[in-house]
Structure 1
Amino acid sequence: MRAVRTNHAWAGRIPARSNGRARVLRLLLALCALPAVFATATPAHATDTTPDTRATTTAPARGADPAPDTQAAYLADRLRENPVHVTDQLPRELPPSTAPDFARLAKKTGVPTYVLVLPMMSSTEGDQLLGAVHDRLGRDGLYVLIEGTDVARATAYGVRAPAEAAVTVTVYELAYDAGALASFERFVEVIAQGEKKAAARAEAARERYQDDEPAEMYIGPSDRRNQSFLTGILLTGVPLSILLLAAYARRGRTGKPALRLIVPAAALLSAAAIALTAPVVFDETRSSAARPPTPAEMSARVERVAAGLKQDPVYADPESPRVLDARQLDRLHERIRDFRRSEGGGPVYVSLVPQTPESEAAGDADLFAAAVHAKVGEDGVYVVADPDDGTIDVLNHGLRLDSSHLSFDLPDSLTLGDSRADEADDHLLGERLDRLMTFLDETPRTDRPQSEPAPAPAPRAADDHTLPTLYSTDFWPGLVVGAFAALLLTGLAAGAAWIVRGLLRRRSPVPEPFDRMPFTAPTAPSTSYLRRTAHAELTALGAGFTDQEDRDRAWDRLDAALLLVDGDPGRARRPGVDPSTLVAVIVLVRAGRAALTGRASNLCCGVNPLHGPAEHRHHLRVSAEGNRRRLLPVCAPCRDAAIADPRGIPARLLELSDPALGNTRLPYYDITDGPLTAVPDGIGRLVEKVRETAGVH
């Protein structure tokens, strides 16, 4: 049964009498009080649980008319004035100026709709509150409770509306950061669909999102920092990577001035593209749907509490459940009066008001107490007791009390509560506030008034849901990381190129660049050796040309070598090319190499053309039997050998196998009428011989 608040203002006003007249008078007064009892009792609703019996109001001034005695009564009065009530306790998330938007949406339900926007509360309190408010208001319709940013509960009284299905749809279909207005808009949309469609939509929403949640609609500050970090990395990493990789690719080479400008231009264009594209891709500016509050909305609750404390030193938030009963409230008033009259004492102001992150003080009780103290304009001990979580904060502003004792010696069981307080609906605030007054009585006095230091200001409401610019926060570290990433990428590319070249070396006997490849010169080379060497030499020389001047000096020799393999270096590795032709290819390519490196010579060693350029001619013994001699150009080692050991020259002659003679090896100039017969006459004659053989003039 709902408890009925008694009017203690009348206590003690009727003098005690011992005769029957006094008893008759008391009986008449009791009979007169019965209608008030039945008038204030709330009838149980057929479809609701028993409403919350706890009442929370601002305690009336002595002799004044009593205020409504329950949370439900206060909220019913607000709905009687306006069918939408938006609390002033959440200005950072839902300022009261959003009430017209809720009212506009409520008209679309098609039934009388009453909306309460309040701070978060327990599920039991929320379930009971709507029924209690309906009973107090006495009007049928759709009652909706919005807690924070969500449509938490809705009940239809005397009208047909799929309230439960609509709440289910908003819970499942919307992201948690959609905001209260978007949540209520979706709720109204489902209500307007009717019961059948609303039920089907609710079931579909459960099945679709039972194991998943809709994607977030907004990003947070940490996401913006990640975006800034990535932008910084790209802004330096990409252009610098282009410059470094291009420099590595063209190392040791010189290009035309016009071509040298292409790479810096590409790097500059990439940086400009990233700088212009990033703000378009990362275009978020807000972290939630909250509307910025006005200064008046930010100060509304503080002014309300201060006005209440000027009338009564105990202010109980009327939008919150009652946590002090009449006996506890009277006891607290008595203790406050006694402390004010005590030596070194003074006023004590108790605010039973919830502290949430969405409030004007951003949940900081010290900041809230300082703001209330400034509005009340009188020094004293300011106590902030949160009816939601049961915490108690005590701050001394201007009394001769040891503030350090208040700050550091208050027991946690008093300020935070214990296990008993956690389990109790009222957090045992009445008992703990009484213990607090005892603690104040025992607090050491000081010679001079003391005050708490000014708390840090709360974050600006305009900044709560505004994201920092993209080019801030972690953007600057991202620039540094981008530079390191470019260096790392270039190193990885260089390492990968080195590995690839190493793999290619294993497949090619002469992997070095053309100007550093050694002249190998066996006297009896195998056909497979000649194939590999001819292919490697052709490939290296072809890649060694960097400008037209190089082509002019060595192109005729490379061109002649290519004529021997039909213009395809790969043909040198395939069967079908005889050994003498392969030797001619190698000799021409090496002559071309000599031309590119500035060591050009028209003569090639006649003992073994694979030796390379010759310095002069010499009569040499070319047969181990007899005294057959021949005038041949010789390289320096062969000339020295001819002088030191003339009979050793035949062993140094290049001999090639001739398939026509059963693979018998003969000196290269005797084996065929091919181009090699022109070697003793010089490279120029060899080139002409190749062209004559190929029919090219």
Structure 2
Amino acid sequence: MRAVTTHYARTAGIRATGNSRGRVLGLLLTLCALTALFATATPADAANTEDAADTPTRAAYLADRLRDNPVHVSDQLPREVPRSTAPDFARIAKKTGVPTYVLVLPLQTGADGRQLLGAVHDRLGRDGLYVLFEGPDIAEARAFGVDAPADAAVTVTQYELPYDAGPLLSFERFADVIAQGGEKATARAEAARETHPDDEPAEMYIGPSDRQNQSFITGILLTGVPLSILLPAAYAGRGRPKKPVLRRSVWGAAVLSAAAVTLTATVVFDQTRSSAAEPPTPADLSARVERVAAGLKQDPVYADPESPRVLDARQLDRLHERIRDFRRSDGGGPVYVSLVPQTPESESAGDSGLFAAAVHAKVGGDGVYVVADPADGTIDVYNHGLRLDGNRLSFDVPDSVTLGDSRADEAGDHLLGERLDALMTFLDDTPRTDRPWSEPAPPAAPSATGETSLPPLFSTDFWPGLFVGAFAALLLSSLVAGATWIVRGVRRRRSPVPEPSGSLPLTAPTEPSVSYLRRTAHAELTALTSGFSDPGDRDRAWDHLDAALLLVDGDPGRVRQPGTDASTLVAVIVLARAGRAALAGDPADLCCGINPLHGPAARRHHVRVSAEGNSRRLLPVCGLCGDTAVAEPRGIPGRLLKLPDPSLGNTRFPYYDVTDGPLTAVPQGIARLIDKVRETAGVH
């Protein structure tokens, strides 16, 4: 542009030499040239600037929401924090005594909550206390222009409440601490840190499996206790005249015990919900789909304004161009792209197919519906009504497009712009069909209310518990009768009580919670540390203790901290228990490869490790798992220890598939596990 301008200026100057009129004419020609040049050179830049201005940033969008209402609850979390709870947040916010602005958003991995709050404040331009929830947890709080102990309040909430307290109770505690003032709040935060570092508050809610256990126990007691009164009394009165008063008192005691068990169980096991999540309304469950559908009616590419941007202006223009070209192509049609996170807390429970079907129904137009998750970078494609080969779209889209590769994993935007462009190329090459393709109707999402409702106490395992209780009472009465017969026939002899062998238990949960693993690892590691009573113990179990401490950087207290993953906790438990067994003089080199928490292995066995197909592995097995492998091979997959995969949330896989760390060495023996820990820690 500078060269063209100089050219026009020089030309005008030559023509204007010799008189003032020529100089004026030259100046006018130069201005005209510049005007024409800018008019032809800048339309694209101006259009891009306009597009950027029309697309608000995440912070600007959230600031606009808070300008309308000081509490913004995302419509993406109806199963965990419904939008209908916003008035409850507003009511609690008044207790802080300062202007309070609340944002409840989905968890954004890697996002800087503190920076986001600062940006929202700058755009809103209002001083006050800004609080950010990521899901049900308070992630960050900042005070701008007001005196509020935000950091202390967050600390108290994290230490004083269990992880399942829920957002409203957490915010209630947060507001109470803010209202106390800076000095008292700081003192309370320090006290919370000192009181609860290793003493995690008890969980407030139970799960369906816990309710089944409660029902089972109730059934056992309801038949076991009354029959334990009646059967021994009947045996004791055998051969003696039955007195009516005594007979009525025995029956009365049995009936009263049954009534007491029933009443006590209903009072003690009074939980009705498994979560603090409030039941969502139909409006809560449809809000996000309606928002996305309304956006797609205006623009075929909808980027979630609550999520970080993953497409820049150039990539967005390129995608729009590819969509227009595909729509005009032979056999093509509309393409709708939704850049929206898919989480288990959403209305579709994280099912992108269900989400796409709901959006298609709201948009009311056939087309290819693409769901691109800006959080994890996955891309799913669904054909609703276009003449495209549906099988090719369902099964042949390259993994580099749908899942990404190592470059996409490392990139903050997951290279979604590049991968969506590749997807459009794939759609261009997809064979056309004679008839429109329709996606099969996806299964309905789980009931949001049913997910958090516990089954009644007198259901599920209550009925098997009744039979077990009757059997236990019969067994107990038989033992009492046998003991009575022995006392009457011979002199009772006291048998020595066997000392514990140090062997590990043969039963353990197959899907243990992280809190269970933390408590168990801390207890086992503490017991092993305190078990060293003389220097000779170092030769027998020091390697086990040393390896267990390497896993927690030498600090046993770290096993109780949230940062330690499940596979590390299991490795600590296995090493600590093996060390205790060595101290007790009962060392074992092999650990059960089905579930390392079972303890020592008796032998190696080829076992079936998948319920589908015939996949087998040679693993060491404990006695019980070995018997199961022989008598019921298909029962082994159900006994495998399954741990949550950190990259897939709560999805669980066999322990040797969720990690490449030391725990994978368990099938090779305790000695190999110790070596693997040292190799990982760089200790030789």
**Same topology, TM > 0.5:** yes
- What is the Cα deviation at residue 33 of structure 1? 13
- What is the Cα deviation at residue 156 of structure 1? 1.5
| Larger deviation, residues 299-308 vs 489-498 | 489-498
Q: Which residue of 2 aligns with 1:349?
A: 336
Q: Which residue of 2 aligns with 1:277?
A: 264
- What is the Cα deviation at residue 170 of structure 1? 0.8
- 1:74 alignment partner AA: Y
The 8 Å contact of residues 302 and 337 in structure 2, kept in 1 or not, is answered as yes
Stretches of structure 1 lacking an aligned partner (at least 5 in a row):
1-17, 41-58, 508-697
The 8 Å contact of residues 68 and 74 in structure 1, kept in 2 or not, is answered as no
The 8 Å contact of residues 486 and 492 in structure 2, kept in 1 or not, is answered as no
Question: Is 1:415 matched with 2:399?
Answer: no
- 1:409 alignment partner AA: D
Q: SS state of the match for residue 294, structure 2?
A: helix
Q: SS state of the match for residue 448, structure 1?
A: coil
The 8 Å contact of residues 61 and 305 in structure 2, kept in 1 or not, is answered as yes
Q: Which residue of 2 aligns with 1:377?
A: 364
Question: Is 1:457 matched with 2:444?
Answer: yes
After superposition, what is the alpha-carbon deviation per residue over 1:382-423, rounded to whole angstroms, capped at 9, x for unaligned?
111111111222222222222222222233332222222222
Q: SS state of the match for residue 278, structure 2?
A: coil
Question: Is 1:483 matched with 2:470?
Answer: yes
- 2:196 alignment partner AA: Y
- What is the Cα deviation at residue 79 of structure 1? 1.1
Q: Which residue of 2 aligns with 1:24?
A: 35
Going from structure 1 to structure 2, the CA distance change for 1:431 and 1:68 (only over 3 Å counts) comes to: closer
Question: Is 1:145 matched with 2:156?
Answer: no
- What is the Cα deviation at residue 257 of structure 1? 5.1
Q: SS state of the match for residue 346, structure 2?
A: coil
- 1:172 alignment partner AA: Y
Aligned 1:230-249 pairs, distance under 5 A:
230-249=217-236
- What is the Cα deviation at residue 29 of structure 1? 11
Q: SS state of the match for residue 504, structure 1?
A: coil
Q: Which residue of 2 aligns with 1:190?
A: 177
Going from structure 1 to structure 2, the CA distance change for 1:203 and 1:25 (only over 3 Å counts) comes to: farther
Aligned 1:518-557 pairs, distance under 5 A:
none
- 1:149 alignment partner AA: P
- Mapped to 2, the partners of 1:398 and 1:32 lie a distance apart of 38
After superposition, what is the alpha-carbon deviation per residue over 1:580-632, rounded to whole angstroms, capped at 9, x for unaligned?
xxxxxxxxxxxxxxxxxxxxxxxxxxxxxxxxxxxxxxxxxxxxxxxxxxxxx
Aligned 1:205-224 pairs, distance under 5 A:
205-224=192-211
- Mapped to 2, the partners of 1:217 and 1:288 lie a distance apart of 8
- Mapped to 2, the partners of 1:123 and 1:160 lie a distance apart of 29
1:406 to 370, 387, 393: 393
Q: SS state of the match for residue 469, structure 1?
A: coil
Q: Which residue of 1 aligns with 2:86?
A: 99
Question: Is 1:359 matched with 2:351?
Answer: no
1:441 to 419, 428, 432: 428
Q: Which residue of 2 aligns with 1:470?
A: 457
- What is the Cα deviation at residue 205 of structure 1? 0.7
The 8 Å contact of residues 130 and 143 in structure 2, kept in 1 or not, is answered as yes
Q: Percent identity?
A: 77
Q: SS state of the match for residue 387, structure 2?
A: strand
Aligned 1:64-79 pairs, distance under 5 A:
67-79=54-66
- Mapped to 2, the partners of 1:365 and 1:352 lie a distance apart of 11
Stretches of structure 2 lacking an aligned partner (at least 5 in a row):
1-28, 495-684
Q: Which residue of 2 aligns with 1:155?
A: 142
- Mapped to 1, the partners of 2:380 and 2:305 lie a distance apart of 20
- How many equivalent pairs are there? 466
Aligned Cα RMSD in Å? 2.9
- What is the Cα deviation at residue 301 of structure 1? 0.8
- Mapped to 1, the partners of 2:298 and 2:232 lie a distance apart of 78
Going from structure 1 to structure 2, the CA distance change for 1:503 and 1:146 (only over 3 Å counts) comes to: same
- Mapped to 2, the partners of 1:495 and 1:412 lie a distance apart of 68
- Mapped to 2, the partners of 1:26 and 1:491 lie a distance apart of 106
- What is the Cα deviation at residue 134 of structure 1? 1.2
- 2:118 alignment partner AA: G
The 8 Å contact of residues 402 and 446 in structure 1, kept in 2 or not, is answered as yes
The 8 Å contact of residues 314 and 350 in structure 1, kept in 2 or not, is answered as yes
Q: SS state of the match for residue 130, structure 2?
A: strand
- Mapped to 1, the partners of 2:98 and 2:242 lie a distance apart of 81
Going from structure 1 to structure 2, the CA distance change for 1:160 and 1:27 (only over 3 Å counts) comes to: farther
Q: Which residue of 2 aligns with 1:368?
A: 355
Q: Which residue of 1 aligns with 2:303?
A: 316
- Mapped to 2, the partners of 1:472 and 1:215 lie a distance apart of 26
| Larger deviation, residues 374-383 vs 339-348 | 339-348
Q: Which residue of 1 aligns with 2:154?
A: 167
1:226 to 202, 213, 217: 213
TM-score between the two structures when normalised by the length of structure 2:
0.64
Q: Which residue of 1 aligns with 2:25?
A: none
The 8 Å contact of residues 114 and 142 in structure 2, kept in 1 or not, is answered as no
- Mapped to 2, the partners of 1:261 and 1:190 lie a distance apart of 60
Going from structure 1 to structure 2, the CA distance change for 1:401 and 1:250 (only over 3 Å counts) comes to: farther
Going from structure 1 to structure 2, the CA distance change for 1:334 and 1:469 (only over 3 Å counts) comes to: same
- Mapped to 2, the partners of 1:326 and 1:137 lie a distance apart of 25
- What is the Cα deviation at residue 136 of structure 1? 1.3
The 8 Å contact of residues 290 and 465 in structure 1, kept in 2 or not, is answered as yes
Q: Which residue of 2 aligns with 1:80?
A: 67
Question: Is 1:301 matched with 2:288?
Answer: yes
2:317 to 324, 330, 346: 330
- What is the Cα deviation at residue 506 of structure 1? 9.1
Q: Which residue of 1 aligns with 2:168?
A: 181
- 2:200 alignment partner AA: E
- 2:121 alignment partner AA: H
- What is the Cα deviation at residue 348 of structure 1? 1.4
